Amino acid sequence: MYHPQLQTLTATVEFHAEKQPDTTAIVCAGLRLSYAELYRGASRIARAIQAGGLKRGARVAFLGRESVGYYETLFGCALSETVLVPINWRLTAEEVGHILADSGSELLFVDAGLLELVDRVRPRLERLDTVVVLDGADDERWRATGADGPPPRPATGPEDPVVQLYTSGTTGLPKGVVLAQRSFFKIRDALAAEGLDWIDWRPGDRSLIGIPGLHVGGVWWAVQGFAAGVTNVAMPRFDSRAAVELIRDLGVTTACVVPSMLRLMLAEPHTGPADFATLRKIVYGGSPISETLLTEAVRRFGCEFAQIYGLTETGNTAVCLPPADHVPGSPRMRAAGRPYPGVRVKVVDSGGETVPAGTVGEVCLHSPANMLEYWERPEATAETLVDGWVHTGDAGYLDEDGYVHIQDRIKDMIIVAGENIYPAEIEHVLAKHPAVADAAVIGVPDDRFGEAVHAFVALRPGHEAGPRDLLEFLRGRIAAFKIPSRFVVVDRVPRNPSGKILRRELRDEHWRDRDRKVN
């Protein structure tokens, strides 16, 4: 199941189309594509992209839910030497417009139900020449332009960019993380070289892509499955009942999910061991997990577990808590894991000096899968990627055995059900409300989704605004999953002399009884 010669997405789809053309490659919403069909569809897309005049390195955006078409497009971009820019379909028109403009995307695939978002911002998108509405006559007409011709023969290698994923920062402006082909293969190679089965593949595996492919965890996991030549199972959007049924009915053997998905599946009524009988391994990550949930999941799913930790900037996973360390009651269950072979970890203080084991500082990762850059942001790239080390913004420590423990987030990020949310973005929009003088946003523990967003708002003298007013104001201005679940009116937002929000003062009440400041 390990094919070391496969080092690019292009080689992957070509190889399996030749070696096992009739094996099902992807299942989603009742549709199936074999590896031969996946290659033919991706080749049509590649030829159509080239017929449209897009050059090597051009950006191609995809705004839609998970589908077989998404993965055809992923491989089609690879075959045409263009770069796929997945866009979260839950974003607002303004957020979508920023990504399309910043990436300079020349071609956009969009679900019909999301076209209205694009129409609202398209007049200012100078480089967006072509919009293709998916799953209809428009899609078929466009694909027809690439129906005939020889198979694409791209000259791409491991260092060439293939995907550009957008992640927010403390400024609130999403940045494009450019990932090379190698980002999807280097960790796999390192595990194989050491004979480790932390993340492994076996003949007949069926893999559930629980994390959407618009996130690094989803697209990385999907490529692992495609590279191994297994059948991959996706959902238009995660639904816990549907996930349980897919695992049971399709005989899913391995899955990649975020912790909140584990909790939701376990909470499904009338679900028992028989529903998960085919599972042999669950890989989870994307947000911290409580020891209570992890212990329950290990017991009830009855399979191996592997936790992965990393960032979009590290090409997804850089650290893994192997199955052998998932022993209920063991202190290892509270660790993020240990670095993969070939990955280095260090913890540094505010001056950049490495600190001893057990000392909390900023976690830094040096991985062969690290990003190439932030798209057209050289200063931001230089700040995050220093001499090959990604500065994660996460506060943590290394124990004496080299395991990574994550304690807090230096960059204030909130993670709700695997979605990264940055307070500055919400605060910026709240500040536009005519009654708001100041605002601060924090994450608080939430048993269902890991964390919840809380906003603290100071009002202008003589003005009034209640939680419902603020909620209605935010609707349509930011994505629904970013809207705070609670608004608290305060006399003032605590700030230090330089004007920075003292989030710790706001967070302490909610995190006081927890030894980790992430949930």
Q: Which pLDDT tens digit goes with each residue over 325-352?
A: 999 888 888 899 999 999 999 999 989 9
pLDDT at position 121 over 60: yes
Q: What type of residue is 157? A: G
Query: What is the pLDDT, as a whole number, of residue 499?
Result: 67
Decide if 346 is inside a domain: no
CATH for 425: 3.30.300.30
pLDDT of 253 over the 90 cut: yes
Q: Which of 240, 272, 307 corresponds to the end of one domain?
A: 307
Asked whether residue 216 is assigned to any structural domain, the reply reads: yes
Q: What is the mean pLDDT of residues 164-171?
A: 76
CB burial of 423-451 (b: ≥16 within 10 Å; e: otherwise) equals bbbbbbbbeebebbebbbbbbbbbeebbb
**Among residues 174, 179, 173, 49, which one has the least CA distance to residue 106?**
49
Joined tokens for residue 42: 């991706």
Q: Is residue 23 part of a domain?
A: yes
Decide the pairing of beta strands 24-28 and 31-34.
antiparallel
Identify the sign of the CA torsion 382, 383, 384, 386: positive
Judge if 210 and 86 occupy the same domain.
Answer: yes
Give the mean model confidence (pLDDT) for residues 280-301. 89
Domain boundary among 261, 280, 307: 307
Q: Is residue 387 part of a domain?
A: no
Quickly state the pLDDT bin for 163 (edges 50, 70, 90).
very high
- Residue that finishes a domain, picked among 292, 307, 322: 307
Q: Region 293-319: what's the mean pLDDT?
A: 95
| DSSP summary character for residue 10 | H
**What value does the mean pLDDT of the chain take?**
93
Phi-psi sector, 267: left (phi>0), alpha (psi -120 to 50), beta: alpha
**Angstrom distance (rounded) from CA 262 to CA 306:** 13
Q: Rounded to whole angstroms, how far apart are CA atoms 111 and 392?
A: 34
Amino acid at 414: I
Judgement on whether residues 174 and 51 belong to the same structural domain of the protein? yes
3-state SS, residue 329: coil
CATH number for position 17 = 3.40.50.12780
- Both tokens of residue 478? 């930011």
pLDDT above 90 covers a percentage of the chain that reads 79
Q: What is the pLDDT of residues 371-418, one digit of tens each?
A: 999 999 999 999 999 999 999 999 899 999 999 998 877 778 888 888
State the pLDDT at residue 516: 62
Cα–Cα distance measured from residue 149 to residue 366, given in angstroms and rounded to the nearest whole number: 42
In-domain check, residue 77: yes
* Residue 301 one-letter amino acid: F
Tell me whether residue 383 is in a domain.
no
Task: Kindly state whether residue 256 falls inside one of the protein's structural domains.
Answer: yes
> Which whole number is the average pLDDT over 247-258?
97
Answer yes or no: do 39 and 167 share one domain. yes
φ and ψ of 170, to 5 deg: -70, -15
Digit-coded pLDDT (tens) for 448-502: 888 999 999 999 899 999 999 999 999 999 999 999 999 999 999 998 765 678 8
pLDDT at 171 over 60: no
Has residue 515 got a pLDDT over 70? no
pLDDT attached to residue 425: 82
| Average pLDDT for 111-121 | 95
Task: Name the most confidently modeled range: 135-139, 145-149, 258-262, 342-346.
Answer: 342-346
| 69-73, 79-83, 188-192, 432-436: the lowest-pLDDT one | 432-436
Tally the residues of the chain.
519
Average pLDDT over residues 162-190: 89
- How many percent of the chain have pLDDT more than 70? 97
Q: How confident is the model at residue 149 (pLDDT cuts 50, 70, 90)?
A: confident
pLDDT confidence band for 247 (50 / 70 / 90): very high
Give domain status of residue 327, yes or no: no
- Distance from C-alpha of 280 to C-alpha of 211, rounded to nearest angstrom: 18
Please state the rounded mean pLDDT for residues 125-129.
95
Domain of residue 428: give its range.
414-511
pLDDT the model gives residue 196? 96
Could you give the number of structural domains in the chain?
2
Give the span between the Cα atoms of 497 and 297, in whole angstroms.
46
DSSP string, 400-418: TTS-EEEEEETT--EEETT
Q: For residues 108 and 121, what is the distance between their CA atoms, to the nearest angstrom?
A: 13
